[in-house]
Chain A
Amino acid sequence: MSAEGWTPDEIARRVAADIPDGSFVNLGIGRPEAVANFIPEGKELVFHSENGLLGMGPSPAANAIDLELINAGKKPVTTVPGAAFFHQADSFAMIRGGHIDVCVMGALQVSSRGDLANWSTGAPGAIPAVGGAMDLSVGAKAIFVLMTHTTKDGQPKLVEDITFPATSRGVVSRVYTELAVINIDTDGFVLRESAPGLAFGDLQARTGAPIRRP
């Protein structure tokens, strides 16, 4: 553990350990992608990429790149035995029809009601872009958020009410940060685990809404 709590790899390892064996999983673009590197030996997960692939494998070697085999982040990937390709309506039927077990996403803010903001800062002049974030967050059976606990200037990202534009309402069930793993139930944030050596008061002070201890 560093002074700031768990490292990004340690967090990704925690997420990977918590995803039930046999799950169909969608990993959001960016930091959530690292979760795929830490699947425990003996656990079988099937990775979904919303551009039309189930059974996504790791990045290819440089000499094996196929520009027509990419992930949702538009990076080259591979398939694993058992993989399937399908068109966009089928891919989002998997998502919106509740067939994806777990989606791991990044976020700008998560509220104690499970509201998610991760597609837009709402800054004037910014080019709005949403992709599949709204569909994934309402459609997957469980939404895990993987993010830093606070902004670069120390503002809480776990909040009472989101101030950035909503992606979805009442959808997030768990948040993983460098400081803690926090569940969200009907009464708000509940501590599942905190980084070693971190006092509860310090955690609460860096969180924008009350955390209950189980």
Chain B
Amino acid sequence: MKANLTTQDSNPLIDKRINFVGDAVADIRDGATILIGGFGEAGSPIELVHALLDQGARNLTVVSNNAGNGHVGLAALIEARRVARMVCSFPRSSNSVVFDEQFKAGEIELELVPQGTLAERIRAGGAGIPAFYTRTSAGTPLQEGKEVRDFAGRPHVLETAIRGDVALVKAERADRWGNLAYNKTARNFGPIMCMAADQAIVQVRRLVELGDIDPEHVITPSIFVGRVVEVPDPADETTLINQGIKRVPQ
């Protein structure tokens, strides 16, 4: 089924609400660059990622701080061999097994980016800034192949912006325009990834009426958001992992 756009089709109101996660990700193409929010499991849009897994797009480049845990969420997407290339700052974790195996077998490409550089490259992508210089990584192996220039007597490394075809993000609340509010440290990469993607797709615990989010408390303004879908009771990775869930048939 295509996205449920009947409300939009039948009247001129702005309405970014989608009924089902599957519809929200239906048009993601093979070879797409996908920005996936989350720091560890906090803010990880696990239902959207599972919908993308079911949808079948492959040869993806995924930009995300980590490379997934256990056999669910991003780890499941990697396990199903949909991800050709990971751009991330910290692909290791105590529960990260799938990425490790593919990386050691030379089956997945890794671009390792310092976390602050990753954040700023994404922010720059959303703000129309093609590149910037930073002290981070100067004099280290991660500056290799990059332009280095001195400012104030110190070497700085040229870093280029990151944009995504799509962002998959988890937030707490959204209205039909796509204004977002987040929960605690689950905010992490959400706001900047929404800015930096052609199509930001957001799962939220609760859809609310326009005006219910105080304008002072809107964290991501609606202009950066393309689709919102309500997932009232999202799974958490820890529980799925403790239950031994493997999302990809073994």
Contacts and interface: CB of A to CB of B under 8 A. Distances in A.
Contact of B185 (A53, A120, A129, A133): A53
Given A51-B42, A86-B187, 8 more contacts: A53-B184, A67-B41, A69-B185, A87-B189, A130-B112, A131-B90, A134-B117, A139-B135
Nearest to A49: B185
B141 to A, nearest CB: 5
Interface stretch (B21-29, B47-55, B75-83, B119-127): B119-127
A95 B116 CA distance: 8
B114 A130 contact: yes
Contacts of A95: 116
Contact of A87 (B40, B99, B114, B188): B188
Contacts, number: 139
Nearest to A88: B119
Given A89-B122, A92-B116, A127-B103, A134 B136 contact: yes
A32 to B, nearest CB: 17
B139 A68 contact: no
Give the bracket for the number of chain B residues in contact with chain A: 35 or more
Nearest to B104: A125
A52 B91 contact: no
A85 B185 contact: yes
Interface residues of A, number: 39
A129 B117 contact: no
B93 interface: yes
Nearest to B237: A67
Nearest to B141: A165
Given A69-B184, A69-B185, A87-B187, A129 B112 contact: yes
B19 to A, nearest CB: 25
